[in-house]
Amino acid sequence: MSEHLTQDHAAPAFAIVYPGQPGDAPATPKQVPHKGGAVNPSVAALRAKFGPVIGRHDVVWNETTVFVQRDKVAEVCAWLQSDPAQSYEYLSDVTAVEYRDAVRPIEVVWHLRSIKFRRFLRLKTELPKAGKTPLEVPSVWGVWKGADWLERECYDMFGIKFTGHPDLRRILMWEQYKEGFPLRKDFPMRGRFSRSEQLKNALSANPEARYSMEELSIADAFEDLPHDMRKRIGGGERTGE
């Protein structure tokens, strides 16, 4: 081998980069108070940047929640993601909360994580249920592409529309589902329709129309499997067996 290809194996091949501040080793927090505690420093930065757009904040179990004006959600999220001092690279969840109090508004919730700074921040915005304000918020799909399915699920279960989403349709229930939004408090436990009507609607949905012939051929291939394999699959083989 040419001497030009030899290298010092004692020297590292690349620099090892650790997340977080230099010398800041990760540690499990202990004796965390229920309320109070240190506020995520991003809250002060948000107030300095956006002023009255940022509402109240709470710290519960060492997690900071900050309320944001509804129509500014996407703008705030874009700044949190792109600003080097914030670096919230990861959107871990988009969901909503509806309380039994008929007057209390629905809360839309975003869970943000900064891997670089090891920070967690929960954003919320409120949607009144009086009917005067539409149940819609700006989509953050343009900031984090991972919001795609998360926003679709929130729309499917709560009926909240995310304006600007490229493909906002149901993801858990079928597209022709007519009974409403299952996680809303006014949704009856047994559904709005009779069991026979639910079955009729499900059968008329024709779910196979959403698949290609190539995908459907996978199901047809079941008959070509060996008898012992078909028996195991048909018997509901458990994971790990």
Q: Which residue has the higher pLDDT, 110 or 36?
A: 110
Query: How many other CB atoms are found less than 10 A from the CB of residue 222?
Result: 11
Percent of the chain with pLDDT over 90: 54
pLDDT of the residue at 30? 84
pTM recorded for the entire structure: 0.72
| Residue 54 CB coordination number (10 Å) | 21
Rounded average pLDDT over 64-68: 98
For the chain, domain boundaries: 34-172, 183-236
Distance, CA of 170 to CA of 173 (rounded, Å): 6
Per-residue pLDDT tens digits for 103-162: 899 999 999 999 999 999 999 999 998 777 789 999 999 999 999 999 999 999 999 999
Q: For 157-168, what is the mean pLDDT?
A: 96
What are the two backbone dihedrals, phi and then psi, of residue 44, each rounded to the nearest 5 degrees?
-65, -40
CA angle 124, 150, 89 (to 5 degrees): 70
**Across residues 45-63, what is the average pLDDT?**
96
What pLDDT, in 10s, does the model give residues 86-100? 999 999 999 999 999
- For 34-172, CATH gives 3.30.460.80
Q: What pLDDT score was predicted for residue 181?
A: 93
* Cα–Cα distance list, 41 to 30, 48, 57 (Å): 20, 11, 12
Q: What is the mean pLDDT of the chain?
A: 83
Give residue 3's pLDDT.
45
- Quick: pLDDT tens for 198-231: 677 777 766 555 556 565 565 666 677 777 767 7
Confidence of residue 33 (pLDDT cuts 50, 70, 90): confident
